[in-house]
Amino acid sequence: MTSLLSVESVDMRFGGVQALSDTNLKVDTGKITSLIGPNGAGKTTLFNVITGLLAPTSGRVYFKGWDITGLSVTRRSRLGIARTFQKLEAFNSLSARDNILVAAERRRRRDHSDHRRPADIADELLELIGLEDVSDITVGTLPTGTARLVELARALALTPTLLLLDEPSSGLNEEETKAVANLLRKIVSDDLAVFLVEHDMNLVMDISTEIYVLDFGELIAHGNPEETQSDPKVRAAYLGSH
Amino acid sequence: MEPEAQETPSRVPSDASPKWERPKAMRGVLPTLPLPSALRNPVVLMTIVGVAIVVVMFWRYWAGYDVTAATLLNATFIGIAVGALYAMYATGLVVVYTTTGIFNFAQGAIGVFCAFLFWELHVNRGWHTLLALFFVVLVFAPALGILLDVVLMRRLRTAPLVVQLMATVALMVLLLSLTGEIWEQDTIRRVDFFFGLKSSIEIFNVNILWHRLITIFTAIGLAIGLSFLLFRSRLGVAMRGVVDNRELAALNGVRPGLVSSSAWAIGSSLAALGGILIAPEVELDPTNLNIIIITAFAAATFGAIRSLPLTIVGALIIGLLRQHTITWLNFGSDFRFVSEAVAPVLLFIVVLALPRAQLTVGRLTTNLKQRERLTSPKEAIFGLAVLIFLALVFSKGWLNFGIWDPGEWGSAPLNSMNVAMGLAIMGLSLVPLTGWSGQINFAPLAFGGFGAFLYLKLAGIGGTNSGYWILLVAVLAAPLGALVAIPASRLRGLYLALASMAFAQAMAMLFFPHSAIIPSTAVGVQFGPIRLFGITFSERESYFMLLVSVFAVIVFALVLLRRSRYGRRWVALNDSQAASATVGVSVNLTKVIVYAISASIAAVGGAFWATSNGSLEGVRSFDVINGLEIVLLMAAAGVSIPLAGLFLIFRPVFEGLTERLYDLGNVDWLAQFFDVLTTFGPGLLALGMVINQRGAIYEMGRGFSPILPWRKDAREEISREWAQKRDTEFGELGIARPFTANEIITLDRRLGITDQVTPPGGYSSENNGSGSAGSDGNTSGDNTSGDNTSGNTTSGSD
Amino acid sequence: MEEMVATSEQISLDHEHALLDLVGIHAGYGTIDVLHGVELAVQPGQVFALLGPNGAGKTTTLGVASGQIMPSTGSLLLMGKEVTGTPPAVLARAGVCLIPEGRGIFPNLTVIENLRMITFAGVSFSDVLDRAFLQFPRLGERRKQLAGTLSGGEQQMLAMSRALASDPAVLMLDELSMGLAPIIVEELYEQVGHLAESGLSILIVEQFAQSVLGVADVAAIMTGGVIQRIGNPDEIAEELTEVYLGIS
């Protein structure tokens, strides 16, 4: 069986800097896969390559078996790839509800029996994530944590098959982080894969099924949380002794 | 901040591009054309197109003069001299832009003002040339520059781009009207060439005016001096350091104010010198002199508003191209302004050849309303009904309070109101485009003029015209908008503003003057009356009511549009293009739609505008400045709010008022006040944006909405704000901010409170802890600790 | 709030005698809050290492300390004097020297021009040249070269020259080691060591503990915009791995 997402020998060079070298990884539905690594390892770059914001120097990206390397950002999202950003990219001058609506109106229906209108989707998500109280507040004036949740809701409004989350817990307090963890566990299904970049290791170890570790643009480890935690190469990467 | 997010594969080597130019990367969204790879480079492509245009021009419009070494040399020489003048303006622009981040649209106007001042001192008051020159260029201009920097420009550094642009455009308009007020335009002024028109030198059999030779040498001297300043002096190194890395320069101890003030002083000195030296070449006329600035913009874009040598090269290319065009080609009367169009067309080409704007992440939107509340259709209908009623009252002269004679209302004021309503509808075209999608457009009048042209072709002059032609105009104008969207979607921010200005100027110089477009017979002639729904709107009154109704209908449509998925998408696109793309919104298609809608609205406005008596006054009607006034007033009012369009009636209302007051005779001081207000109002209003970035209509709405019985939310918001103010003001012993932890320590020490066991960081938590521990003994303190978060009062009560 | 209680229980910072003192700092960018009550005090002559993962707020803390970021609440004290809200240029001339993350140099200026920029902190050009070229002779060989064309290590040396030449009261280093070969990092930290020996107060921010262990007197772990632990560098380094890998 082919993986939902497979990144094959992706290289990304910026001038003289090798941001990603020969990166190979697979993400499957029904699982939470995490990508970790020290500062500057190339995690966000990989997300940008997967979503089409960056074109890789070489290598291919496959989604559901299709080669999507040449597709535009918009086309990829219509195929079912949704993401959030490390630095908030909410629509700041729109209300929380309108943020979700913009995405819901561009939603790709999963099957023909799904007749929910965009407004229904927005209301469902506001309730699911607990944003009813701020639904008509301009997102730019919300605290970071809440705005991040709006961004998450917006990504989910696309009813994606692959959800890429870039540091969903940053700016969130402990309680909100737990809520996000529970939410992610809840939404992962046969129809949805979650791919996570995260610095909060408690969160990563808690919810991930599979972890990839990236250091200086290279994948140095791959395994379940326990294996990753005890991997000496991973420890060395985080201590900074190469 | 993750460094990986900063790395960029931009076309410019990263070390050569200053910080604000660094785009995040994205693949080109336009389909790749099946061209040889060299041709895919936009620079190469544009060069080929440009050369082709020039070749065709020379082949088609050759005037047939003899080409001799002398004539060729003469044209070349004048071209270089004129290019040197452009270079003075343009280098000033570049110095200011790179060091302060402000693109000074008023650069030309500063030159205009200084040229007039020079005329006043030298010609009118008989100062010696050198003394006048010294005073204007080295005393007055730098002082003006420093004043502008300190009073205005520094505050704008972090302001949104629209505010930055509007502020300098407003400054331009203000300086031009100030020049017009001080030196009344009924007399023709001339500044002589230095050493006169006769005094020339012969080089290679060509007589060369000393003035032009001096210009060239001055420019060379300036280039050397400027490079010496920038590369040898400590101040220059600091200026370049600020360009390279502003934050680091501050960390080095460089005073940012010193650098920005120096840049503004240099910039306006160069403008003054350029203005004075160019004045003899053209008649001393504010508008004519000011439009040279577009040439300077074009020259500056040659160097990507960054490189001084490339800017100078650009200025010389334009100067030579322009002069040779004038010398060798004859375009006939239809294309008589081709030489004026050289600069805007080149600007357009160069801007498009620049690397395409990339999808960027990490932009902060500030200055937001807390609660988003869109106008509901019901409210819109109510408000517009009120508007139409007021218009009716006005046009019938029902409410004149005995000040003016109702009979006279039928004439001049209503005419100018009709013209203004046409402009107001054009102003509405900016609401979805600039207000919601953030696409800056300095060419609403060019779109409007296109509508006028279409209507003219469809309906023609004279006879009764069916109003349905207007609908057809709207439909036909949409493709133009869509067409403009294609190059526009490559651009962002300042370059988009420049490109739209170039577009407006090119249209004004190439399109509208052509006899097949707006025939000269259309000047001052009223079109045949419009017939709609069986009514012929032949009277000024009824026509005014028609215009107000059309305005109201478009406003209503915009209200509905903003509430629709398209409105949301446009605002979203403005907030974050990258995020829009990742939620499946096609960035390009969305832009095409909004441009098409905007062009349609502007064309309708233009058609109505042209049919109002007195709007078409020859080619001058389409001057860039006239279009800028629409943009300026819309921005000052708040371009995201449709009702802002009403601000366009500013001028006729105030002009009418002024006239009436003068007529009354006994309130001359008031009349004069309104006269000044009419002249400077638009500029001053736009400068008001520096303080109130959301625009006047927003503030007016905020004051007005709590009165409306159904706006409970507005009343709540006001009371919340009041509560906040009260809390900070009286929260802590009457000072406006809470005590810092350190002040608390000092205070406690002074007061002899010694139970200080924890460091100040734990202060508030410590106090909360002790508060809960001793809650039984502190029942009266409960409500105070609820209101007062700092620990001061509780520790005092201990 | 919980975290703040934890802070006050575990350590006690000597705010009174501190050279650089941050008290209850809350700060951020626009509406994004990054720091939630940072307490930090650097004593005269002390080398203070601030460690923590990406996004913890370390760079923001330095931004506040150098005057680049205005805290929403809290105060910044320099030698016991409240200087909250003082612009960075003024603080720089008062002796606060921050070498920012990712090469604190002007890439389009030559080496010599970069050194000339240092004079704005109030030192003479000849002093700057003497000290910079004495410590880093390699810069002297490349004086006419554009700083952007130097190697990573040379760029960092150029950035470090400001610390050496401007005679600061307090030095702050942000991720000095980022992207550099270990041997160069070692060389640079040797210079930091010399500076520390001469009695300079230094605040070092690093993501990796390894490189600073040799020079730091005190270390602190920062996560989520608050300082979690302050203590002996070796102990802190061990804990840090746990923080990074989520072992608790």
C152, C211: one domain: no
How long a stretch of residues is chain B? Answer: 798
Q: What is the mean pLDDT of residues B340-359?
A: 76
State the Cα–Cα distance between residues C122 and C145, nearest whole angstrom.
25
Exposure pattern of B600-627 as b/e (b: 16+ CB <10 Å)?
Answer: bbbbbbbbbbbbbbebbeebebbbbbbb
- Tell me, what's the pLDDT at B726? 53
Q: Is C237 found in the same domain as C181?
A: yes
Q: Is the pLDDT of residue C157 over 90?
A: no
Distance CA C145, CA C111 (A): 6
Among the listed residues B698, B702, B704, the one whose alpha carbon sits nearest the alpha carbon of residue B641: B698
Contact in structure between C17 and C11 (CB atoms under 8 Å)? no
* Chosen from B2, B248, B745 to mutate, greatest number of chain C CBs within 10 A: B248
> Which of the pair, A34 or B529, is modelled with greater confidence?
A34
pLDDT at B162: 82
* Whether residue C127 sits in one domain with residue C70: no
Distance CA A33, CA A204 (A): 9
Q: What is the mean pLDDT of chain A?
A: 87
A85/B580 CB distance under 8 A: no
Contact A113, A167 (CB under 8 A): no
Q: Do residues C40 and C75 both lie within one domain?
A: yes
User: Which residue type sits at A172?
Assistant: L
| Residue A239 Cα, gap to closest chain B Cα (Å) | 18
Which chain C residues are within 8 Å of A144, Cβ to Cβ?
28, 31-33
Q: Is the pLDDT of residue B787 over 60?
A: no
Neighbours of chain C (3+ CB pairs under 8 A): A, B
**Burial class (CB within 10 angstroms; exposed 0-12, middle 13-18, buried 19+) of B67:** exposed
> Rounded distance, CA B349 to CA B317, Å?
14
Give pLDDT, residue B526: 58
Q: Is residue C86 part of a domain?
A: yes
Beta-sheet pairing, A5-14 with A58-63: antiparallel
**Which of B742, B772, B789 is the best substitution to test chain C (most C C-beta atoms within 10 A)?**
B742
Band of residue B792 on the pLDDT scale cut at 50, 70, 90? very low
- Whether the pLDDT of residue B758 is over 70: the answer is no
Q: Is residue C138 one of the residues assigned to a domain? A: yes
In this prediction, residue B724 carries a pLDDT of: 60
Q: Taking a C-beta distance cutoff of 8 angstroms, is the pair A198, A168 a contact? A: yes
Domains of chain B: 89-291 (no CATH), 385-694 (1.10.3470), 731-774+783-797 (no CATH)
User: CB neighbours of B484 closer than 8 A, spacing ≥ 6?
Assistant: B503, B595, B599
Question: Both C72 and C56 in a single domain?
Answer: yes
Do C78 and C10 share a structural domain?
A: yes
**A199 neighbourhood in chain C, CB within 8 Å:** 53-55
A86 and B368: CB-CB below 8 Å?
no
Measure CB to CB from residue C108 to each of B244, B249, B745 and give the nearest one: B244
Instruction: Name the residue among C221, C225, C223 with its Cα closest to residue C26.
Output: C225
Q: Considering only residues 23 to 82 of chain B, which have any Cβ-Cβ distance to chain A shorter than 8 Å? A: 24-27, 29
When scoring B583, B694, B720, B724 by the number of chain A Cβ atoms within 10 A, the one with the most, hence best to mutate, is B583
Q: Do A147 and C241 touch (CB under 8 A)?
A: no
C109 and C216 in a single domain? The answer is no
Chain-chain contact of C55 with A167 (C-beta, under 8 angstroms)? yes
- Cα B632 from Cα A150, distance rounded (Å): 35
Highest mean pLDDT, choosing among A228-242, B324-338, B429-443: B429-443
pLDDT at B43: 66
Task: Check whether residue C226 and residue C181 sit in a common domain.
Answer: yes
Same domain, C118 and C206: no
Q: Residue B375 carries which DSSP code?
A: P
Report if residue C202 sits inside a domain. yes
Question: What pLDDT, on the 0 to 100 scale, is given for residue B625?
Answer: 84
Degrees, nearest 5: CA angle B206-B207-B208 = 110
| Separation between Cα atoms, residue A43 and residue A213, nearest integer Å | 9
Does residue C196 carry a pLDDT above 70?
yes
Interface partners of chain B (CB pairs < 8 Å, 3 or more) are: A, C
Question: How far off is chain B from A103, nearest CA to CA, in Å?
Answer: 5
Q: B665 at the C interface (CB within 8 A)? A: no
Q: Which of C75, C106, C121 lies closest to B740 in CB terms?
A: C75
A199: contact with C, CB 8 A cutoff? yes
Q: Which pair of tokens denotes residue C60?
A: 């923001």
Taking the CB of residue A191, how many other CB atoms lie within 10 A of it? Answer: 15
Over 50: is that where the pLDDT of B782 sits? Answer: no
pLDDT (0 to 100) of residue B31: 38
Residue B374, both tokens = 């869109």
Q: Which of C165, C192, C214 delimits the end of a domain?
A: C165
Q: CB of A119 within 8 Å of any CB in chain B? A: no
Q: What is the mean pLDDT of residues A29-42?
A: 86
Q: Is residue C211 part of a domain?
A: yes
User: What's at B637, amino acid-wise?
Assistant: A
The shortest C-alpha distance from C128 to chain A (Å) reads 32
- Provide the pLDDT for residue C204: 92
B577-613 tens-digit pLDDT = 889 999 999 888 999 999 999 999 999 999 888 887 6
Strands (DSSP E) contained in B296-367 are none
Beta strands in B496-628 (DSSP E): 530-532, 535-537
DSSP state of B204: T
CB–CB of B499/B348 below 8 Å? yes
Q: Is the pLDDT of residue B432 over 90?
A: yes
Q: Using the 3D structure, point to which of C125, C148, C165 is the last residue of a domain.
A: C165
Packing angle of the helix pair C125-135, C152-165 (nearest 10 deg): 130
Per-residue burial over A93-103, b if 16 or more Cβ lie within 10 Å, else e, is bbbbbbbbbbb
Among A201-205, B211-215, B739-743, whose mean pLDDT is lowest?
Answer: B739-743
Distance CA A90, CA A73 (A): 17
Q: Give A6 or B649, the one with higher predicted confidence.
A: A6
Domain span at C183: 2-95+168-245
Which domain CATH number covers C50? 3.40.50.300
What confidence tier does B740 reach under pLDDT thresholds 50, 70, 90? low
Nearest-CA residue of chain B relative to A81? B582
Six token digits for residue B187: 């007399």
CB contact under 8 A, C243 and A201: yes
The domain boundary residue, chosen from C148, C165, C182: C165
For C158, residues 6+ apart whose C-beta sits below 8 A from its C-beta are: C105, C111, C114, C115, C132, C136, C139, C147, C150
The answer to whether residue C100 is domain-embedded is no
Q: Which residues does A164 contact at the CB level (< 8 Å), separation at least 6? A: A47, A50, A51, A81, A82, A83, A84, A195, A196, A197
Å between A42 CA and nearest CA of chain B:
6
Query: Which chains form contacts with chain A, at 3 or more CB pairs under 8 Å?
Result: B, C
% of chain C residues with pLDDT over 70 = 92
Give the distance, in angstroms, between the CA of residue C86 and the centroid of all CA atoms in the same chain.
18
Give the range with max mean pLDDT: B285-289, B700-704, B737-741.
B285-289
- Beta carbons of B251 and C93 less than 8 Å apart: no
pLDDT of C194 strictly over 80:
yes
Is residue B64's pLDDT more than 60? yes
Distance of alpha carbon B174 from alpha carbon B254, whole angstroms: 33
Torsion angles phi and psi, residue B528, rounded to 5 = -65, 150
Q: Give B28→chain C minimum CA distance, Å.
A: 28
Query: Is residue A224 a contact partner of residue A209, using CB atoms and an 8 Å limit?
Result: yes
- Where does the pLDDT of residue C116 fall: very low under 50, low under 70, confident under 90, or very high at 90 and above? very high
Torsion of CA B566, B499, B447, B605, to 10 degrees: 70
Which of B11, B360, B364, B372 has the highest number of chain A CBs within 10 A, making it the mutation to test binding with A?
B372
- C184 and C130 in a single domain? The answer is no
State the pTM of this model: 0.81
Average pLDDT over residues C146-160: 87
Structure tokens at B264: 């503004």
The answer to whether residues C90 and C177 belong to one domain is yes
How many domains does chain C divide into? 2
CA-based nearest distance B4→chain A, Å: 5
Tokens found for residue C68 = 């680049």
* pLDDT recorded at residue B568: 93
State the pLDDT at residue A163. Answer: 95
Taking CB atoms and an 8 Å limit, are A154 and B583 in contact across chains?
yes
Whether residue B566 is predicted with pLDDT greater than 50 in this model: the reply is yes
The whole-chain average pLDDT of chain B stands at: 77
* pLDDT band (50, 70, 90) for residue A240: low
Element (H, E) at C201: strand C201-206
Q: Which neighbouring-strand residues pair with A13?
A: A18
Residue B525: pLDDT band by 50, 70, 90 thresholds? low
Instruction: Report DSSP state, residue B376.
Output: P
Q: Are residues C82 and C174 in the same domain?
A: yes
